[in-house]
Structure 1
Amino acid sequence: MQSLKRGIFWNFGGLYFFYFAVWQLIFTFLPYWLKGPAGMDTTTSGLVFSIMSFGALILQPIFGPIQDRLGLKKGLFYFVICCILFLGPLFQWVFLPLVGANQILGAVVMGAYLSLCLNGGVGVVEAYNERSSRAYSFEYGHARLFGSLAGATASFVGGIMWAKNTGSIFWAMTFCAAVLFVLLTVVKLPDDHMAGEVRDEQGNAAKNEPITREEWLSIFKNRSFWGFCLLIIGSATMYDVFDQQFPNYFASFFSDATAGATFFSRVVSVQILLEAICMLFMPALINKIGAKTGLLIYGGILFVRVLGCAFINTIPMLVFWRLLAALEMPFMLVSVMKYITRVFDKRLSATVYMYGFGTAKQIGLTVFSLFMGNMYTALGFHHAYLLLAALIAVFVIVGSLLMRSDAKTEQIAK
């Protein structure tokens, strides 16, 4: 945990905190906003999330190679921050009137813009910070725990804000973007940033030659890449699909929907605080068991949670099942980055992340958000969760069979 003592570590921790505060506010309270003030049903709400994913499907394959060429330059990161800065005014003066005039058009415009901030933009944030962790020699997983702390804080404070004024949630995002702008500006680039130097987990300089077309294409000839994509669809994609409508499912157990939303925000706060504690120890655990094993554990816990929710009919058990997510995310967040930097060329880390994690995840979300939105309407939550659990099992098992192990080597896969 030596990275906790480094000054630059706290700056990147702040970047994670305020970015993922925005992320948590959107994904916790947007379903309520879509159902309440916007007046959408689950199918139209699913269209919003599908468009967010489809937008990222276009953006991430572009952002990945660009960020690899930029190295530690901040241009794309600034772009994402500027998009977030306008969320407050857009939700109040543009999105809500547009949805009132035409729900489908409003869903498309809203989803496309949010993809710049979140589903597409998150790849820029994660790839930049992971590369920085190697350049500045601090542990990525320790800085990433600030994202968990942000999630807990945003859920708790957001629940209070939502109960008093639903529109204040989106203005809080604008405030977070302003802080992000300041934090990123004060980060000083290392002397070798123009060369895009990256470092391995021991702090040693990695290869610095320009990336050739053949090296870039070699990613798509690697079976581990395709196995990684399938496992991500079965785990990270399905995690988000599960979460999209879960707040409404949880609130359905309460006679007062507002009380259910407030209580759920408290549960999420506890979950993410536990998640942050797990993040402290997760890098050491993944170094011991291997990143592939960590990803399989992540998928297994998600399968248990989704399957369990198909049979649970009491609030206390539903709360307990939700808190299991505190174990899931640390396994995923640390394992994804360690698997990429151990099995693939580190110079291509942003490209592999945005294609293998980001793009694969968004393909899955584009397909399954709308599909599961229809299933919730047609089958009800309990039967839809049985179907979702089966999909998780198939994708995770098939993906894991294709992926090579990272436990004994960090050399570039051939």
Structure 2
Amino acid sequence: MHQIDEETNKNRKESKHFWGFPFTDFSYFFIWAVVNGYLTLWMEQVGHLNGAESGAVFSMMAGISLFYQPVFGVISDKLLFKKNLILLIAAAGILIGPYFQWVFLPLMRINSFLVAIVTGAFLSFVLNGGVSVIEQYVQRASLANKFEYAHARVGGSVAGVVAALVAGRLFIWQPNSIFWACTVAAVILVLLLVFSDKIDTDNASAAGDTNDSLDWHTVISVFKIKNLWVLAIFYMGASALFDVFDQQFIIFFRTFFHTTAQSTLVYSYMSSGQTAIEFLLMFPMPWIINRIGSKNGLIAYGIVTAIRILGSALAPNWIWVVGFRLLAGLEMPLLLTSIMKYIAGAFDIRLYATIYALASNFAKQISVFVFSSVAGHLYDTIGYQHTYIYMGIFVLFITIFAAFFLKKENPVQAGERDTEGRPLS
């Protein structure tokens, strides 16, 4: 009996300081979901940008983030649990509403390339660059506070559901209001970071050392790791194409309907269904990845992504498109759970944020930078269906490459746990 009480107290201790982090993810990924879900439509309807001009904005977001990613990664590894950088990113998010209300359109009247540069620099700071800072911070908190990252990331899935339900209606009512909703979410994020998120300092070493000894020589040495390059190539092919595919998907989806309002409403319901599936799968996904391994989880993600892209290209009507779109509800839990465990289990934990920024986000943004403009041009010339076929085949090829060359992770180092929450050994 005494042993049971001891185990209960241990589990209670391991789960403390959890609840602030799902709300942090909710606030941030609400902004992410709104901007990535509706920016293209806003630029077409309100900004009157064509496919190539919209693609240029996303290319700049990806290209400029190539500066942010490695710098943010190294700074995050140095700061560890200090919140200086993450608070700066959250504070910048507050400016999203004012920027699109009063700055974007005047810049567009001056020059479309200028608006692409300014918008890309601003949004990539908050989103493309900032996302790795948010994600690695919560992942490290999960190691220190002894909870599964995927369970905190459920907050991001809920944000996707809420954003899909709210943003579609806000856009129909007043397009600019979607960006003011992002401003409100950023204010909440700042408050959560300041007053809510707590770290179990007694176990902080599980997420890395204080890293005062981390120097540029150590950081640069990661480029000699073969597995870093294999992971980067996988992300450049699979995850990047996932993002490029989604950038103008709402425009493709609209071609199946007679009115914009009808397509926007169905898109809203479809996105809600997708994120609801994502939300539900976040709970069992750590258990699944613990069983199959994080490398296999990444491979499964690549296969599902290829099926979704190819299926959308060949879909005869919007019902089939919705069906394949719902697969994204499986993709994100697979990717997010697998990549966090994989990096922790296959690389030096001291360089967690640097590896994540370089192999996942930096490499991915190189690919997005290139493919966004290429895809935008192809959409205007050969159409969405043919472009999607090329994308799907490319993702499948890259996934096969990763299946052969990605290193197997160390499950203990990855923080994988058994059915009772104990670390695997």
TM-score, L = length of structure 1: 0.93
1:174/1:347 CA distance change after superposition, 3 Å: same
Instruction: Compute the displacement of 1:109 (Å).
Output: 1.1
Tell whether the 8 Å contact from 1:223 to 1:403 is kept in structure 2 after alignment. no
**AA of the residue aligned to 2:365:** Q
Match of 1:255 among 244, 254, 258: 258
Alignment of 1:20-59 (within 5 A): 20-59=29-68
In structure 2, the partner of 1:164 is 173
In structure 2, the partner of 1:114 is 123
Alpha-carbon distance in structure 1 between the residues aligned to 2:117 and 2:211: 41
**AA of the residue aligned to 1:223:** K
1:225/1:103 CA distance change after superposition, 3 Å: same
Instruction: Compute the displacement of 1:174 (Å).
Output: 0.6
1:308/1:18 CA distance change after superposition, 3 Å: same
Instruction: Compute the displacement of 1:100 (Å).
Output: 3.0
C-alpha distance after superposition, 1:75-133 (max 9, x if no partner): 01011011100111110000122113322211221111100110011111111111111
**AA of the residue aligned to 1:93:** W
Tell whether the 8 Å contact from 2:312 to 2:321 is kept in structure 1 after alignment. yes
Match of 2:146 among 133, 137, 158: 137
Is residue 272 of structure 2 the alignment partner of residue 272 of structure 1? no
Match of 2:88 among 74, 79, 82: 79
Instruction: Compute the displacement of 1:139 (Å).
Output: 1.1
In structure 2, the partner of 1:128 is 137
Instruction: Compute the displacement of 1:212 (Å).
Output: 4.7
Alpha-carbon distance in structure 1 between the residues aligned to 2:210 and 2:30: 35
Is residue 69 of structure 2 the alignment partner of residue 60 of structure 1? yes
Alpha-carbon distance in structure 2 between the residues aligned to 1:352 and 1:341: 9
In structure 1, the partner of 2:335 is 332
C-alpha distance after superposition, 1:299-321 (max 9, x if no partner): 00000111111211211111101
Is residue 393 of structure 2 the alignment partner of residue 359 of structure 1? no
Tell whether the 8 Å contact from 1:231 to 1:397 is kept in structure 2 after alignment. no
Instruction: Compute the displacement of 1:233 (Å).
Output: 1.2
What percentage of residue pairs aligned between the two structures are identical? 37
**Matched residues, number:** 405
Alpha-carbon distance in structure 2 between the residues aligned to 1:408 and 1:5: 19
C-alpha distance after superposition, 1:310-349 (max 9, x if no partner): 2112111111010011111100000011000001111110
Instruction: Compute the displacement of 1:398 (Å).
Output: 2.3
> After the TM superposition, which segments of 4 or more aligned residues of structure 1 sit over 3 Å from their partners?
2-7, 187-193, 205-209, 212-215, 407-411
Match of 1:343 among 342, 346, 349: 346
Alpha-carbon distance in structure 1 between the residues aligned to 2:13 and 2:374: 43
Instruction: Compute the displacement of 1:5 (Å).
Output: 9.1
In structure 2, the partner of 1:376 is 379
Tell whether the 8 Å contact from 2:27 to 2:188 is kept in structure 1 after alignment. yes
Tell whether the 8 Å contact from 1:230 to 1:396 is kept in structure 2 after alignment. no
Alpha-carbon distance in structure 2 between the residues aligned to 1:277 and 1:269: 12
1:15/1:210 CA distance change after superposition, 3 Å: same
Which residues of structure 1 form unaligned runs of 5+?
Answer: none
Which residues of structure 2 form unaligned runs of 5+?
Answer: 1-10, 415-425
**AA of the residue aligned to 1:65:** V
Alpha-carbon distance in structure 2 between the residues aligned to 1:388 and 1:102: 31
**AA of the residue aligned to 1:314:** N
Q: Secondary structure at the match of 1:118?
A: helix
Alpha-carbon distance in structure 1 between the residues aligned to 2:386 and 2:187: 43
Is residue 345 of structure 2 the alignment partner of residue 312 of structure 1? no
**AA of the residue aligned to 1:235:** A
Instruction: Compute the displacement of 1:378 (Å).
Output: 1.2
**AA of the residue aligned to 1:114:** L
1:35/1:191 CA distance change after superposition, 3 Å: closer
Alpha-carbon distance in structure 2 between the residues aligned to 1:356 and 1:340: 9
C-alpha distance after superposition, 1:10-40 (max 9, x if no partner): 1011100010000000011101111110001
1:95/1:208 CA distance change after superposition, 3 Å: closer
**AA of the residue aligned to 2:349:** K
1:207/1:97 CA distance change after superposition, 3 Å: closer
Q: Secondary structure at the match of 1:273?
A: helix
Alpha-carbon distance in structure 1 between the residues aligned to 2:348 and 2:14: 29
**AA of the residue aligned to 2:408:** S
1:124/1:3 CA distance change after superposition, 3 Å: farther
Tell whether the 8 Å contact from 1:3 to 1:138 is kept in structure 2 after alignment. no
Q: Secondary structure at the match of 1:199?
A: helix
Match of 1:15 among 11, 21, 24: 24
Instruction: Compute the displacement of 1:408 (Å).
Output: 5.4
Moved more, 18-27 or 221-230: 221-230
CA RMSD, 1 decimal? 2.2
Alpha-carbon distance in structure 1 between the residues aligned to 2:292 and 2:325: 25
